[in-house]
Amino acid sequence: MFSSRVPDDRRPNRFAEALAQARRTGGLADLTISNPTRAGIPYPADLLDGLADPAALDYAPSPFGLRTAREAVAADYARRGISIPAERIVLTASTSEAYSLLFKLLCEPGASSVLTPAPSYPLFEHLTRLDGVAERRYALEYHGAWTVDRGDLDAMWSPDTRAVLAVTPNNPTGAVLAAADADELVARCCARDAALILDEVFCDYPLAAPIHDSPALSSPPCLVFRLGGFSKTIGLPQVKLGWMAVQGPDALVAEALDRLELICDTYLSVSTPVQIAAPGLLSKGAVVRESILARVRSNHALLRRSLDASGGAAVLPADGGWSAVIRVPAVRSEESLVLDLLERDRVVVHPGYFFDFAHEAFLVVSLLTEPAAFTRGLRAIEDRIDAA
């Protein structure tokens, strides 16, 4: 899907049409892949055995999810050094559903807004629209590192703002929310009666140094909702289990959970088999996470060696995640470059405007790509940049 925020003269229709045609004929080196199950990642043969547990034949619905599954998620937070009791864990069918539940909790359709970061993956526009919530974008600015543009954040804030969304590590920049920015977001949300929603789906994939939690988030004075799920943390998007962890002052948390209980009880969307299997999946799935981490680190190192030495492009610094941003010489449009790569080299990359970068020229590549295809794609990118 492509962001409808792209100006009319830059809408990626030509690229989308060319990509659809190219995929029909095959033979592509796809450097946009985000599905780990199609990326040559090894999975244990018995990983999904727990889904056949006979206990799943008994249906005992629970609005927030089975206690054993919530305890397993709480233990997974503890693995990261974050203490959140199982009572404050709410299971969902996906991170996208978690967003929808939170928009229902925090917002009034047609009368509320949330702030989302730019650049970012073009998902929030669709999620907010589906729940009748206005989306306003605050800028992330790059000066050797990505930080929140606090002036723009304040300019976008309005009396109807009910939540601020932050993605850490960000997709696609790979930037982790800096401690100073976390302080500012928490302070503003506390002072302005808003919640902070932290999308942490890529938190298990540091590209170098471990990702540490910000002190401002250990005991926040406002409501904070942390989102995660199986899709990224153990590479199982098809198993459909996500969660939110609720933090903040006891009274605010209790009120939020009370209201969430009604919302979740209305849907009861999380399947019983996956909840029963959750503890085993989180345990066995660690080997999948390790394989994905090794893949993204290896590809990132290759990318840095290849392009940083070329002199014609630069790989922007990143802390974690599955994507990398390449800044290329702005001697031609991003669309022209990605079309050349697609049509002449059979290589697929994303243009920066897909993620609402403020200006040209950037390419975004997936570090999840199989090594042979990744190497082929990098060579093509180098050749196109050299030719330009």
State the pLDDT at residue 3: 37
State the pLDDT at residue 5: 38
Sequence ranges of the chain with CATH classification 3.90.1150.10: 8-42+287-387
How far apart, in whole angstroms, are the C-alpha atoms of residue 157 and residue 290?
A: 40
Structure tokens at 43: 């999975």
State the virtual CA torsion across 41, 46, 51, 55 in degrees, nearest 10. -160
State the pLDDT at residue 261: 98
State the pLDDT at residue 21: 82
Is it true that domain 50-284 has CATH number 3.90.1310.10?
no
- Cα 296 to chain centroid distance, Å, stands at 15
State the virtual CA torsion across 343, 347, 353, 357 in degrees, nearest 10. -150
Superfamily the domain 8-42+287-387 falls into: Aspartate Aminotransferase, domain 1 (3.90.1150.10)
The 8-class DSSP code of residue 66 comes to -
State the pLDDT at residue 25: 85
Sequence ranges of the chain with CATH classification 3.40.640.10: 50-284
Q: Tell me the pLDDT of the chain (388 aa) as tens digits.
A: 233 334 344 445 688 888 888 888 888 999 999 999 999 999 999 999 999 999 999 999 999 999 999 999 999 999 999 999 999 999 999 999 999 999 999 999 999 999 999 999 999 999 999 999 999 999 999 999 999 999 999 999 999 999 999 999 999 999 999 999 999 999 999 999 999 999 999 999 999 989 999 999 999 999 999 999 999 999 999 999 999 999 999 999 999 999 999 999 999 999 999 999 999 999 999 999 999 999 999 999 999 999 877 678 999 999 999 999 999 998 889 999 999 999 999 999 999 999 999 999 999 999 999 999 999 999 999 999 888 7
State the pLDDT at residue 23: 82
Whole-model pTM: value is 0.94
- Cα 48 to chain centroid distance, Å, stands at 24
169 cis-preceded (ω within 30 degrees of 0): yes
How far apart, in whole angstroms, are the C-alpha atoms of residue 76 and residue 301?
A: 28
